[in-house]
Amino acid sequence: MAKIPVGILGATGMVGQQYIALLADHPWFETRFVAASPHSAGRPYKAAAAGRWHHKTPAGEQVESLIVQDANDVSRAADAVKRGDLSFVFSALEMEKETVKTLEEAYAAAGVPVISNAAAHRWTPDVPVLIAEVNPHHAEVIPLQQKARGWDRGFIAVKPNCSIQSYATPVWALIKAGYQVRRLMVATMQAVSGAGYPGVPSLSIIDNVVPYIGGEEEKSEQEPLKIFGAVKNGVIETAAFPKISAHCSRVPVSDGHTACVSLEFGPEKPSIDEVKRLWAAFSGEPQSLNLPLAPQRPLIIREELDRPQPRKDRDQDKAMAVTLGRIRPCPVFDLRFVGLSHNTVRGAAGGGILNAELLKAKGYIS
Amino acid sequence: MAKIPVGILGATGMVGQQYIALLADHPWFETRFVAASPHSAGRPYKAAAAGRWHHKTPAGEQVESLIVQDANDVSRAADAVKRGDLSFVFSALEMEKETVKTLEEAYAAAGVPVISNAAAHRWTPDVPVLIAEVNPHHAEVIPLQQKARGWDRGFIAVKPNCSIQSYATPVWALIKAGYQVRRLMVATMQAVSGAGYPGVPSLSIIDNVVPYIGGEEEKSEQEPLKIFGAVKNGVIETAAFPKISAHCSRVPVSDGHTACVSLEFGPEKPSIDEVKRLWAAFSGEPQSLNLPLAPQRPLIIREELDRPQPRKDRDQDKAMAVTLGRIRPCPVFDLRFVGLSHNTVRGAAGGGILNAELLKAKGYIS
Amino acid sequence: MAKIPVGILGATGMVGQQYIALLADHPWFETRFVAASPHSAGRPYKAAAAGRWHHKTPAGEQVESLIVQDANDVSRAADAVKRGDLSFVFSALEMEKETVKTLEEAYAAAGVPVISNAAAHRWTPDVPVLIAEVNPHHAEVIPLQQKARGWDRGFIAVKPNCSIQSYATPVWALIKAGYQVRRLMVATMQAVSGAGYPGVPSLSIIDNVVPYIGGEEEKSEQEPLKIFGAVKNGVIETAAFPKISAHCSRVPVSDGHTACVSLEFGPEKPSIDEVKRLWAAFSGEPQSLNLPLAPQRPLIIREELDRPQPRKDRDQDKAMAVTLGRIRPCPVFDLRFVGLSHNTVRGAAGGGILNAELLKAKGYIS
Amino acid sequence: MAKIPVGILGATGMVGQQYIALLADHPWFETRFVAASPHSAGRPYKAAAAGRWHHKTPAGEQVESLIVQDANDVSRAADAVKRGDLSFVFSALEMEKETVKTLEEAYAAAGVPVISNAAAHRWTPDVPVLIAEVNPHHAEVIPLQQKARGWDRGFIAVKPNCSIQSYATPVWALIKAGYQVRRLMVATMQAVSGAGYPGVPSLSIIDNVVPYIGGEEEKSEQEPLKIFGAVKNGVIETAAFPKISAHCSRVPVSDGHTACVSLEFGPEKPSIDEVKRLWAAFSGEPQSLNLPLAPQRPLIIREELDRPQPRKDRDQDKAMAVTLGRIRPCPVFDLRFVGLSHNTVRGAAGGGILNAELLKAKGYIS
């Protein structure tokens, strides 16, 4: 069976590279279109990424020989779609928020579905913010989005910020089981790769912690509420709970975001054992659909006292699983735990690819 | 004026060394007695500490030539006190908790006051756990402790765990100003020096975070309540508030514990400006008594968005100040901030020396 | 085909664990016997390794349920060999050198071949120190070793120190091509995992370099000469060249030893291009025998200016390849380059397993 | 006595900031003029450096209120000199090499002496490259430089690259004692601060070593030869020896460059004891002139097996001393040792200030 040809916008940036690396052996998708800034445009990908390629292994000859397109020129992708040489694009654009917003809309309007990593459209009411195991049903707004905007083939679907992946899914598993999570306090210890490349200067982080990441706490507090929200009249209504407070810090770790979480339930409170049981048993559509990049178990529980740890747990199950540990009562709220996920795989390109697999399996892309 | 001769129990360990380093140029105290395990006993300090001395500069000839005593043999210190060659000892013993408890009592019974860093006596009701700026009045239980136990000259006073120094003083400043702090959620990012030497293996912490420190969360949750407690009938009654929940993690930082704190007040809630004003103005007995190791300002506020940071702020004011930043509202509780202090200075030997200075200034030791 | 049952001496230590992890899916060998200190003996491996297991994934149920034997009791392994339940043992013993020496001899005498990681027998003249791609022919001393000592089935074969793996093979490739390497100056930057666990304290290495590793420079200077030596009269004669000077430092890196090397040739000097050609083409018996753990190419050349790097290159080809870069003229000697290898895989357990595969393929073990 | 008013070109960059920090309490000099890029010009220094100031303590009110000048506009400094408000400038310009070259000449031509950190003029034959303890006599080319170029008051004097400070002075001490150093092999492990700010991305250096620093090896090999050269006919003739080979690597260390050095002497070879004696006794003009920033001993010898280490030794004697250790025979050359110096103090701003103190004391500036 021929693979589906896909494109990457922002292909030379760090997340763009991660997409290329993860798609290298993908059973369904094949990178056939790469676009980046005008500066990179017109050169073979290998030349455009020279000196910036961060992965251990090269991008592969096939991708290296692709000519980089100017991401601002929507017609190149649109023409490729018409020719049948492109099905959809992953957006890893690293531009001004308003520019990304407009550009992603232009791609969608031109018939090119956009599965985006960017923050630009996360608060657009008819754009779903998908965690494939949590809210796959939000995909149902896509036809309404297309209709409202007069788009036929194109649409926009996005994924949330990397910082929330370590706690949104386990919290959802409890909500889904019928427990109300009223309040959530989280302190994250985030890897430097979350800031891209060059990103965090080494002089800022060696023997140090930086207890601030611009915009991160707001995203960590608000995005879960859209993901946990209900679809009404073709738009996604933000959930009222849980109220979230996030302290986000940068630590000297290359990959893997760690989250220390306290939850307050009400009125029903699950026991620690019940929580563990629910998490161990949790499974979503990616698992039932047997999607290629779906982790076998979305939530892995470690019983050792000192886990999860970024270096030991970030790569679990294709770096797509969330690892949970230190599940214990909270003296102030009800439950405490530590969650960990790989921020550039599960939290970025891997999460985007899983969303694309889901949308493909559900018939939104072809 | 002749300096007061002091001793150090556990002198070859990491905290013991820190005492020696900090006392090197102390205007009041002079290290004249060093005791350690039987293994080190009988040798000059220089030989006993060879290969384990961690400070940039040597211990100094005077200390290096002291013969290390067996810390288990209380009579050596007791005799030195009788001869007038020793006033009191700093305990940095790193033994089994019950052994330390018994041994510190034996020293006190033999007429040797013990200013301790160890955890053994922190929950002994008539032993004060002192943060010199917070609860200097707890020293008043010392005479009652001596009377109850039939000790004449000796007594035991201790200091709290290093992890609480980054938030106990700022919280106290608000309580002292009349605000009730009902609930406190804290996530700490703690330096490896807190585990002593050799302590945390490098293989455990390079490119990693360990979200667990044995016993640390319990100490972080409970010790502030004794410090904030009232003296009644010669013993210290534990305060009922705040309820505290602590997540303690180890991060790849050499020195300096960072704490992300959320506070819930009630019923009166100070404004952010009021909090800043109270912290900037906060001062305690060490400041009014002008003690040698007292920081000029116990609480330093940084207005930059990304401070405090361990590498930049841990050494502020002889490494004895607590640096505060990111003071902002909490969407779940009322107030959030980040606190930082130097764990082996303010949080260990420096805090112990400041306690000794306080007790000297208040007439408890001579 | 049934797998060959193998044992591990020192199974709970760091290298022992690495053996277990690498053998988990080995096509030829299966871990069926584990021995460690008397302290661990008598308990299932899972219990004995609890709190010390360092790998991301568990040891596996089969190994976890093995009862740990006392490594000092040779009879257990000898009996297992007689029963056909054990073919040979990997020695990762971490004891006093003389104790290891005697113990490994006792195992060999009792009919248990010993493929060792330990340094004890590296200078025993009739014991081969094998790098499978460099001196597989040294295995021919094994029958003479057995004969001289009156051993029938047992023998001892060892591997060299981890520090030399990053330069010994590329240097050998040049010697093999006919070039005399007269002098070699090497400065290594070694990972902390080389010191085992707990090994290097984090406080010693965060934001630091330790320019000393006990015994490492001597091994780095002398062991290559035995490996490059000729077999004469049943013993290995040390080669006279190259004269080696090694500066060995510890750096804050988890895995992967980097070596900066300068070579002086004489009288024939290869061009840079010739060196690259020889290295790219280099292949040894493990490759021609297609051994399971053999890297496809023992020497990988990276042309980027800033490679090899430990984090990016240590895992190349099952972490068994040596990566080379910065191949350029030396203003003082003739040639300079940087070599990198994974110290706990290629430089320890992986190298040991490759040696066992070689000895199996050549008929020395069955 | 009024302090001498000095200026800083490139004042907002990392080295510029280091100058400001080190001059804060300088007994002779006072920062009265700051210049930077047109982007920063016209704003108070505090505003221009906002978000980029890296030091623990602020720049100080006096400097913070200075209006930043455009460094390209030489007339501002020239006018200040004429008014008596400026004596000379420290150049920490971070521009294109040719631009720096031209600009520094323009300042000198306009009557403003330039004490430079930049590499631009290091190979200009009549410009001295000064290490104050090594070649203070090279300052004698300054009058010839002024005469040849028709400059009256202005001149250019520079300092060498930070990487050579850890070995150039100890090597000079041996040359000065009459020993010929024929060949020198050095491998450096350099701190990230050497690359400025933002400099090395954290993602490039966490759990990693980068065995390449652009241009660094050439500077490390060639600059010592100019410094060791003789003044002939008003220009500095490059010394013929030692031949130097440098491997330069970046390691995860904030400050402090470590150098592993091997020396070949000839024909006379000093004993290890003689080397130690010469280094311990070494002293230069900065010491005899008792210059403010001169270390008491330029070369500090540590006898511990594992020193020097960046974190423990970089701050010795105002971070201006070079610490030496592991002094031992070399099996390939004659002598080996490890040298360490603070790259942004001794190797940059501190070295520049010491040069200015020297030139002031010798009457070249007023």
For D34-46, write each residue's pLDDT tens digit.
999 999 999 999 9
Handedness of CA B255, B260, B264, B265 (dihedral sign): positive
Interface subset of D 233-262, CB within 8 angstroms of B: 254
pTM score: 0.96
* Max avg pLDDT among B283-287, C59-63, C234-238: B283-287
Confidence band of B234 (pLDDT split at 50, 70, 90):
confident
* Direct distance between the N- and C-terminal alpha carbons of chain C, in angstroms, rounded to an integer: 13
CB contact (8 A) between residue A198 and residue D198: yes
Q: How confident is the model at residue D56 (pLDDT cuts 50, 70, 90)?
A: confident
Q: What is the pLDDT of residue C56?
A: 83
Residue D24 within any structural domain of the chain: yes
Residues B277 and B293: beta-carbon distance below 8 Å:
no
Answer yes or no: is pLDDT of B331 > 90. yes
Nearest to B300 by CA among B266, B265, B351, B346: B346
Please check whether residue A366 lies inside any domain of the structure. Answer: no
* B310 contacts on A by Cβ (under 8 Å): 207-209
Q: Do A56 and C313 touch (CB under 8 A)?
A: yes
Q: Are residues B243 and B309 in the same domain?
A: yes
In a domain, C12, yes or no: yes
| pLDDT of the residue at C271 | 98
Q: Is residue C366 part of a domain?
A: no
Closest residue in chain D to residue B315, using alpha carbons only = D56
Chain B within 8 Å of C44 (Cβ-Cβ)? no
Chains that touch C (3 or more CB pairs under 8 A): A, B, D
pLDDT for C233 equals 87
Q: Where residue C55 falls among pLDDT bands split at 50, 70, 90?
A: confident
Condensed to tens digits (0 to 9), the pLDDT of residues D128-165 reads 999 999 999 999 999 999 999 999 999 999 999 999 99
Q: What are the DSSP E strand ranges found in C175-284?
A: 181-190, 230-232, 235-237, 243-250, 257-265
The CA-atom distances, in angstroms, between A55 and each of A19, A252, A290, C324 are 11, 19, 27, 17
Indicate the number of domains in chain B.
2
Q: CATH code at A275?
A: 3.30.360.10
What is the structure's pLDDT at D54? Answer: 85
In A, minimum Cα distance to D14 occurs at A203
Asked if residue C53 lies in contact with residue A306, where contact means CB atoms within 8 angstroms, the answer is no
- Identity of the residue in B207, B244, B260 whose CB atom sits nearest the CB atom of A332: B244
| Active-site annotation of A, residues | 162, 257
Q: What average pLDDT does this structure show over C106-134?
A: 97
Predicted confidence band at D176 (pLDDT cuts at 50, 70, 90)? very high
Q: What is the phi/psi pair of residue C182, to 5°? A: -85, -45
**pLDDT score at B54:** 85
Residue D283 located in a structural domain? yes
A173 & A125 share domain = no
Residues of D annotated as catalytic are: 162, 257
State mean pLDDT over C112-139: 97
What integer is the mean pLDDT of C131-151? 97
Residues C141, C234 contacting (CB under 8 angstroms): yes
pLDDT band at residue C326 using 50, 70 and 90 as cut-offs? very high
- CB contact (8 A) between residue B254 and residue D311: yes
Q: What is the mean pLDDT of chain C?
A: 96
Q: How far apart are CA C68 and CA C97, in angstroms?
A: 22
What local confidence, expressed as pLDDT, does residue C1 receive?
A: 73
**Above 80 in pLDDT, residue D365?**
yes
Provide the shortest C-alpha distance from residue B159 to chain D (in Å). 28
Which of C207, C262, C342 would you mutate first to test chain D, the one with the most D CBs within 10 A?
C207
Q: Does B197 reside within a domain? A: yes
Kindly list the partner chains of chain D, i.e. chains with 3 or more CB atom pairs below 8 Å.
A, B, C
pLDDT band of B154, cuts 50, 70, 90 = very high
Looking at the fold, whether C121 and C184 belong to one and the same domain comes out as no
Phi/psi at C33 (5° precision): -145, 125
Q: Is A318 on the interface with C (CB under 8 A)?
A: no
pLDDT tens digit string along B175-187? 999 999 999 999 9
CATH at B142: 3.40.50.720
Kindly calculate the radius of gyration of chain A based on its CA atoms and give it in whole angstroms.
20
Give the residue on A whose Cα is nearest the Cα of C323: A56
Structure tokens at A187: 């302190």
D107-115 average pLDDT score: 98
Instruction: Note whether A117 and A10 are same-domain residues.
Output: yes
Write down the mean pLDDT value for chain D. Answer: 96
Of the pLDDT bands very low, low, confident and very high (cuts 50, 70, 90), residue D51 is confident
Neighbours of chain A (3+ CB pairs under 8 A): B, C, D
**Domain shared by A181 and A111, yes or no:** no
Please report whether residue D366 resides in a domain.
no
- D9: which residues sit within 8 A by CB, 6+ positions away? D16, D35, D36, D71, D89, D90, D91, D92, D93, D103, D107, D114
Q: Which amino acid is at A353?
A: I
Kindly report the length of chain D.
Answer: 366
Distance between CA D34 and CA D7 in Å, rounded? 5
At C366, is the pLDDT very low, low, confident or very high (cuts 50, 70, 90)? confident
Q: What is the pLDDT of residue D317?
A: 96
Judged by CB atoms closer than 8 Å, whether chains meet at C332 and D184 is answered as yes
- Residues in a beta bridge with A245: A185
Say whether pLDDT at D311 is over 90.
yes
Give the type of residue at C203.
L
User: Do B201 and B230 sit in the same domain of this protein?
Assistant: yes
Quickly state the pLDDT bin for D300 (edges 50, 70, 90): very high
Query: So what's the pLDDT on residue D115?
Result: 98
**Average pLDDT, integer, range B104-115:** 98
Residue B290: pLDDT over 80: yes
Structural domain boundaries, residue D199: 163-342
Q: Chain D 53-82, CB below 8 Å of chain B: which residues?
A: 56
Residues of chain C contacting D245 with CB distance shorter than 8 Å? 262, 330-333, 336
For chain D, give the percent of residues with pLDDT over 90: 95
**Residues A300 and A177 both lie in one domain:** yes
Alpha-carbon distances of C305 from B138, C186, C337, D220, rounded to whole Å: 64, 19, 11, 18
D33: distance to nearest CA of chain B, Å? 26
CA–CA separation, A190 and A192 (whole Å) = 7
Say if residue D231 is in the same domain as residue D153: no
Q: Is the peptide bond before D5 cis (omega within 30 degrees of 0)?
A: no
Tell me if D245 and C253 make a contact (CB, 8 A cut-off): no
Please check whether residues A79 and A153 belong to one and the same domain: yes
ipTM for the predicted complex:
0.95
Nearest one of A51, A36, A93, A22 to A342, comparing CA atoms: A22
Least Cα separation, residue B345 to chain D (angstroms): 17
Q: Decide if B366 is inside a domain.
A: no
Residue D1 has pLDDT above 80, yes or no: no
Residue C338, pLDDT above cutoff 80: yes
Taking one residue from B and the other from D, the number of pairs with CB-CB distance under 8 angstroms is 13
Of the listed ranges A269-278, C229-238, C247-256, D288-297, the one predicted with least confidence? C229-238
C258: closest CA among C248, C272, C266? C248
Residues A214 and A326 in one domain: yes
The reply to whether D207 touches chain C by the CB within 8 Å rule is yes
Q: Which of C212, C253, C311 sits opposite D306 (nearest CB)?
A: C212
Q: Taking CA atoms, what residue in C is nearest to B192?
A: C203
Query: By percentage, how much of chain B surpasses pLDDT 70?
Result: 100
Other Cβ atoms closer than 10 A to C273 = 9
**Model pLDDT for residues D210-222, shown as the tens digit of each residue:** 999 999 999 999 9
Distance from the Cα of D101 to chain B's closest Cα (Å) equals 35
- Are D157 and D169 found together in one domain? no
Characterize C237-266 residue by residue with b for buried, 16 or more Cβ atoms within 10 angstroms of its Cβ, and e for exposed: eeeebbbbbbbbbbbbbbbbbbbbbbbbbe
Q: Do A207 and B244 touch (CB under 8 A)?
A: no
Note the pLDDT of residue D366.
Answer: 85
Contact assignment for B306 to A253 by CB distance below 8 Å: no
Residue ranges of chain A with per-residue pLDDT less than 50: none
> What integer is the mean pLDDT of D163-191?
98
Name the percent of chain D lying above pLDDT 70: 100
Please tell me whether residues A155 and A179 are part of one structural domain: no
Query: Exposed/middle/buried for C39, CB within 10 Å: 0-12, 13-18, 19+?
Result: exposed
Work out the number of other CB atoms within 10 angstroms of the CB of residue B226: 20
Question: What pLDDT score was predicted for residue B55?
Answer: 86
A311: nearest CA partner in chain D: D207
* pLDDT at residue D285 in the model: 98
Structure tokens at A141: 């707004």
